[in-house]
Structure 1
Amino acid sequence: MAMAMIASLSPATSSFSKLIEIKKCILEGFTSIKHVKHVHAALFRFGLHQDSYLLNLVLKASFNFDQTNYTRLIFHQAKDPNVFLWNTMIQGLVSTDCFLDATQFYVSMRTQGFWPNNFTFPFVLKACSRLLDFPLGIRIHALVIKLGFDRDVFIKTSLLYLYSKCGYLDYARKVFDDIPDKNVISWTAMISGYIDVERYREAVDLFRKLIDMGLRPDSFSVVRVLSACAHLGDLNSGEWIDRCITQFGLSRNVFVATALVDMYAKCGNMEKARYAFDGVPVKDIVTWSTMIQGYASNGLPKEALDLFFQMQKEKLAPDRYSMVGVLSACARLGAVELGDWASKLMDIEEFLSNPVLGTALIDMYAKCGSMTQAWEIFKRMKEKDVVVWNAAISGLAMNGHVKPAFGLFGKMEKSGILPNANTFMGLLCGCTHVGLVNDGRRYFDSMNRVFSLTPTIEHYGCMVDLLARAGLLDDAHQLIKNMPMEANCIVWGALLGGCRLHKDTQLAEYNENRIQRLREAHRVHFV
């Protein structure tokens, strides 16, 4: 309607009437970029193309249709762009993820003598954060102080994001502490900063302070802090947050509920995870996948598969996460036919092009004893990261193909993939299964000497088991004495098994006493 009225205007119409009609058309909104261009053309037609107010409205509309090239054309046609036009360009470029262009526009703005204001700084600082452009961010911070905007909560929060994203958490905390009236966004920014650098305890502690201040957290902050509890295995804090979720009426939020399920699952409380899962009114595929993976990773494969079948009844197609959970459950149960059926619910190309999915399928076949199928999937994988190589090496080793596992390790080295701790666990377990002491020593020694990897207690346990099974009881005992950490019941138990196998009653008695003392000290049951 408004467009028709613009078309009916003539050059004889008063400038005021033209302005009113064009403004009315703009305020009614645009349906397409073609619509925007018609209005822009009308501005030229009636000599209003240098009107900064109207140009600003057209600029904003152009960004809504992701037409950054056209917005640049509009901007550069302005003879005397004011700070509002500059701000609209910077804001629009940031909103369309053109972060480098946004910083370049900011530099041009300063070069041409314009001073940024409280609308400029948050967006250009966001661009710096995404680009990790710390030097420019520092200069902008100095200008913020110079222009007296250093108490603006939105600008300070943007600075906080900049410092945390660039890895300067102590500076970020100083900025945070200096914010006079912190809002939820400021708190969430600081909490996220801690989580991003794996300082999970500080994130949880800060969330507690947020609640103590009487602020109401939003769903994003709750999801983030629940992920911190999951990483820490902090069930107590997670349960407290669960009560806060109920208090603030966030229980029905699917993102919060899914994060709650994930937290309980990773903390090992599957009963509460299921309670949270059942309380979600409308479950999406992520919620189902989280619960399925939770069952699988907590040693409940039957429950994982039952839930997967229930998800199938809901007509939901599996995603990569639910598929990984199902394949893991099948591997644990040795249900190769079921795993094979489940894998066919997704295109084989998804497995071959996704290392996570491919690894799960290789692992399932290998643990079910179908090494031929596992090997075929490995060969066809389009992208092999270290986890994929590890799955194949461990699969070969656990199925008795230890020499081929060694050969595959050699190919892995030649391909430029650096082994990790899990690589050597597979190799050492293979050596233990067939009693290859010299190879086991060689791989164990090369961890630190060649690859700068520090052996864990699990690696020491494998070596003790290997030596003890081979009758090298004194060597195994000496290795335990030389360990940089205290040996646990499993390590001593490996030596005890060797003592019994080779009938060394004196050392066996010593081991039994050590295990008994450890059980008493740590109150754990050793089988």
Structure 2
Amino acid sequence: MFNGIYNIISQCLSSSTSTLSHARQAHAHILKLNLYGDTYITSRLLSHYANNFCFSQVTNLVLHFFPYPTLPSFTTVINVFARSHQYDAVLRLFSLLGHKGLAPDGFLLPSAIKACTALQALKPGMQVHGYAFASGHALDSILASSLVHMYLKCESVGDAQRLFDEMPDRDVVVWSAMIAGYSRRGMVERAKEMFSEMRSEGVEPNLVSWNGMLGGFSNAGWHVEAVELFKTMMGEGFLPDGSTISCVLPALGQLEDGVAAKQVHGYVIKEGLGLDRFVVSALLDIYGKCGCTQEMLRVFDEVDQREVGSLNAFLNGLSRNGLIDTALEMFRKFLDEGVELNVVTWTSMISSCVQDGKDMEALELFREMQAHGVEPNAVTIPSLIPACGNISALRHGKQIHCFSLRKGIFDDVYVSSALIDMYAKCGRIQLSRLCFDKMLDPNLVSWNAVMKGYAMHGKAKETIEMFRMMQESGLEPDEISYTCVLYACAQNGLTEEGWQYFNSMSEEHGIEPKTEHYACMVTLLSRVGKLEEAYSLIKEMPFEPDACIWGALLSSCRVHHNLSLGETAAKKLFLLEPDNPGNYILLSNIYASKGMWDEVDRIRDVMKSKGLRKNPGYSWIEIGNKVHTLLAGDKSHPQMQDILAKLEKLSVEMKKCGHLPKTGFVLQDVEEQEKEQILCGHSEKLAVVLGLLNTSPGQPLQVIKNLRICGDCHAAIKFISSLEGREIFVRDTNRFHHFKDGVCSCGDHW
């Protein structure tokens, strides 16, 4: 009977048609008969489990049941796992050798080194090196070459160099590996030295040698050196292959050298390299970066087998060149055709939509992405979060925050920084600070994000305090840090503090003030009425003032009704931005405030002749899971009748309390009654009232406006906050206004 069962076990493990089920059947018989001491049977069982990737069974057998496992059985199993890229399993099994009294040999060590290389596991790699050295196998040139590769992959170039120096026989492969290793780290001169040493020792470089150095230079950001190396390679008679082309094109793309790109493309066509998917992706990418959209479209149309890499490069190229609508159309087409798009594709489209101001589309794409079973990653989330901040969609932002927590990516510094910025833009600066405080190791981006949030909310004291704390943490402020603190000073009229920080930039940190810093100072001086001082600062600037500088002055001239300086600033802006309607409107407003209606008509005629129209004022408010957009004067919203009726009631209550409409903010030559009607149509008022009608009493309201809030709306919303008992957050293009109990956080200074 025993022999019969033994034969059954042997057949289950020996047949070429044996399955995992057969192996488990044999295992059951082995358990029953206690045959673990049979080396032949146990080795076969291990092999079957290994071939079926049953790591837990293999480990269990080796650790607990095999009394005398053999090195060949270990080698068979480990090599199977190595060929199947199960590198964690390889190292776990390798670590069991010592427990079983076995020493690795030359057949087993290469698989262990391969696993360490793939996992970039330096410490286990050094242990394997120790085994090889103690056993004498390290003298084998192939094994030594594998160890050099391992050290380079683990970013331990010093260990790689020491081992390389000890090798008696160094072929072109190991030389090329060392050269590529130095190239990837941007150590250009050392890579060139190694290249020269290789030749001096009689080892001639091959195409792999050139490609390794070229790819290293390109990836390390040494784009000019990569292009020069490519020319040298061609000059020495080495013909580039697909790898060469896919290495040099990204370098040309960073240099935006469209002419050279077309020359390389010609070579690709001549040598028939157009079927290489990496070459295709690189061509699409460089034409996109160089603005050669027609060439990019031609390359894409000529591709027969489109894979996701080329699709991503194509969509990125369209978006980068302002063709986001075309990119979205093509993206939808690929989806309809059943093309399997990856997380890079979805993330790229989401990011492109956000950058193009298509925030609602970005949020919709995120929902679709998950519906298609594509898992967002730590790049997707910080790409999407700004969309929530841009349209003040707090509920959506909180949902994405929860998603990042569930997926364990909140600790990513870029995700946390994006959340800080989002909460600040949604009016919840306290949540912004909470996110910051929960960060384990905030970087400069994080500090700048929270300072920017405080500055946006007009909290100069907190901004300055964070600036101080950042420096005490050991981080040096950068240009953005100073922009934040100067902006905060400008919002609060802190002239003395503003000058102090402005001067300390260059004196203490060697940061020369740029346009944005001068713009903050011009705004600061202008807002406190020091327009002449602001104008003097502009004239003293070490570079030519741009539209940002003159725009800051013109905006303040509008507030202080300074006609002469306003005209000076406007003339500069008309030259710098002849097609920006906002500048004409600001000057027109100054004329209107002084009753100079002929000049107002003249500006209107100039705009008409140029085909310019005033940017319409519109506001957003998030109610439930929907973001509503209201346009000034537009009556298309389905609840408009209710909104206007509620506004009329509020207007009556305001007048009873002595609050009259500030008709001076209607800069049109019309009757007072018509001016009152115009004021009622301002988008921020409409949005606030829509919120009152559709939310519970006492619930905070959040409104965002695309222009600066007008004085009448500001006064009206202060009254509404008191009458209705609501906290109302309004974000305009300048800052945040937090209305509560009839008072605004800006102190009526904006």
Verify the 8 A CA contact 2:581 2:612 in the aligned structure 1. no
Verify the 8 A CA contact 1:40 1:58 in the aligned structure 2. no
Classify the secondary structure of the residue corresponding to 2:346. helix
Match of 2:356 in 1: 267
Match of 1:15 in 2: none
- Does 2:108 correspond to 1:25? yes
Q: 1:215 to 1:505 in 2, by over 3 A?
A: same
RMSD: 3.7
Q: Distance in 2 between matches of 1:88 and 1:478?
A: 64
Q: Which runs of 5+ in 2 are unaligned?
A: 1-70, 76-103, 114-123, 618-631, 633-750
Tell me which amino acid in the other structure corresponds to 1:256: T
Q: Distance in 2 between matches of 1:269 and 1:55?
A: 55
The alpha carbon displacement at 1:338 in A equals 3.4
1:441 to 514, 523, 535: 535
Match of 2:193 in 1: 104
- Does 2:328 correspond to 1:239? yes
Q: 1:499 to 1:490 in 2, by over 3 A?
A: same
Verify the 8 A CA contact 1:289 1:319 in the aligned structure 2. no
- Deviation digits for residues 138-158 of structure 1 (CA, Å, limit 9, x no counterpart): 4664454544x3253333443
Match of 2:546 in 1: 455
Q: Distance in 2 between matches of 1:93 and 1:444?
A: 48
TM-score, reference length from structure 1? 0.79
- Deviation digits for residues 187-230 of structure 1 (CA, Å, limit 9, x no counterpart): 333444466xx53x22x544423321125455455445544444
2:554 to 434, 446, 464: 464
The alpha carbon displacement at 1:377 in A equals 0.3
1:477 to 567, 582, 597: 567
Verify the 8 A CA contact 1:144 1:150 in the aligned structure 2. yes
Q: Distance in 2 between matches of 1:477 and 1:329?
A: 38
Match of 1:115 in 2: 204
1:408 to 487, 490, 501: 501
Q: Which runs of 5+ in 1 are unaligned?
A: 6-20
Q: Distance in 2 between matches of 1:227 and 1:136?
A: 24
Classify the secondary structure of the residue corresponding to 1:210. helix
Pick which of 63-72 and 408-417 moved more.
63-72
Verify the 8 A CA contact 1:161 1:172 in the aligned structure 2. no
- Does 2:271 correspond to 1:178? no
- Deviation digits for residues 486-524 of structure 1 (CA, Å, limit 9, x no counterpart): 163322222222223333333233334444555x54585
Match of 1:494 in 2: 586
Higher helix fraction (1 or 2)? 1
Pick which of 159-168 and 259-268 moved more.
159-168
1:283 to 376, 381, 400: 376
1:296 to 373, 389, 405: 389
Match of 1:505 in 2: 597
- Does 2:209 correspond to 1:126? no
Classify the secondary structure of the residue corresponding to 2:482. helix
- Does 2:403 correspond to 1:311? yes
Tell me which amino acid in the other structure corresponds to 2:384: M
Q: Distance in 2 between matches of 1:77 and 1:275?
A: 59
The alpha carbon displacement at 1:396 in A equals 1.0
Tell me which amino acid in the other structure corresponds to 1:186: V
The structure having more radius of gyration, on CA atoms, is: 2
The alpha carbon displacement at 1:389 in A equals 0.5
Tell me which amino acid in the other structure corresponds to 1:499: Y
Verify the 8 A CA contact 2:558 2:586 in the aligned structure 1. yes
Verify the 8 A CA contact 1:122 1:155 in the aligned structure 2. yes
- Deviation digits for residues 446-465 of structure 1 (CA, Å, limit 9, x no counterpart): 33xx1x24411x43333233
Q: Distance in 2 between matches of 1:388 and 1:326?
A: 18
Classify the secondary structure of the residue corresponding to 1:268. coil
- Deviation digits for residues 342-367 of structure 1 (CA, Å, limit 9, x no counterpart): 433324x61xxx33222221222223
Q: Distance in 1 between matches of 2:234 and 2:240?
A: 9
- Does 2:339 correspond to 1:256? no
Residues 331-480 of structure 1 aligned to structure 2 (within 5 Å):
331-347=424-440, 350=442, 354-381=443-470, 382-415=475-508, 416-447=510-541, 450=542, 452-456=543-547, 458-480=548-570
The alpha carbon displacement at 1:397 in A equals 0.8
Verify the 8 A CA contact 1:216 1:248 in the aligned structure 2. no
What is the percentage of aligned positions where both structures have the same residue? 15
Verify the 8 A CA contact 1:467 1:476 in the aligned structure 2. yes
TM-score, reference length from structure 2? 0.58
Classify the secondary structure of the residue corresponding to 1:393. helix
Q: 1:58 to 1:465 in 2, by over 3 A?
A: closer
Verify the 8 A CA contact 1:226 1:263 in the aligned structure 2. no
Classify the secondary structure of the residue corresponding to 1:419. coil
Q: Distance in 2 between matches of 1:363 and 1:525?
A: 27
Aligned residue pairs, count: 492
The alpha carbon displacement at 1:73 in A equals 4.6
Classify the secondary structure of the residue corresponding to 2:206. coil
Tell me which amino acid in the other structure corresponds to 1:438: E
Q: Distance in 2 between matches of 1:386 and 1:243?
A: 40
Q: Distance in 1 between matches of 2:228 and 2:405?
A: 55
- Deviation digits for residues 326-345 of structure 1 (CA, Å, limit 9, x no counterpart): 44444444433333334333
Tell me which amino acid in the other structure corresponds to 2:570: I
Q: 1:429 to 1:233 in 2, by over 3 A?
A: farther
The alpha carbon displacement at 1:392 in A equals 0.8
Classify the secondary structure of the residue corresponding to 1:461. helix
The alpha carbon displacement at 1:262 in A equals 0.8
Classify the secondary structure of the residue corresponding to 1:285. coil
Q: Distance in 2 between matches of 1:471 and 1:344?
A: 44
Verify the 8 A CA contact 2:109 2:128 in the aligned structure 1. no
Verify the 8 A CA contact 2:538 2:545 in the aligned structure 1. no
- Deviation digits for residues 280-299 of structure 1 (CA, Å, limit 9, x no counterpart): 332223322222112213x3
Classify the secondary structure of the residue corresponding to 2:513. coil
- Deviation digits for residues 419-449 of structure 1 (CA, Å, limit 9, x no counterpart): 22222222222233222111120222233xx
The alpha carbon displacement at 1:395 in A equals 0.9
Q: Distance in 1 between matches of 2:460 and 2:226?
A: 54
Tell me which amino acid in the other structure corresponds to 2:381: W
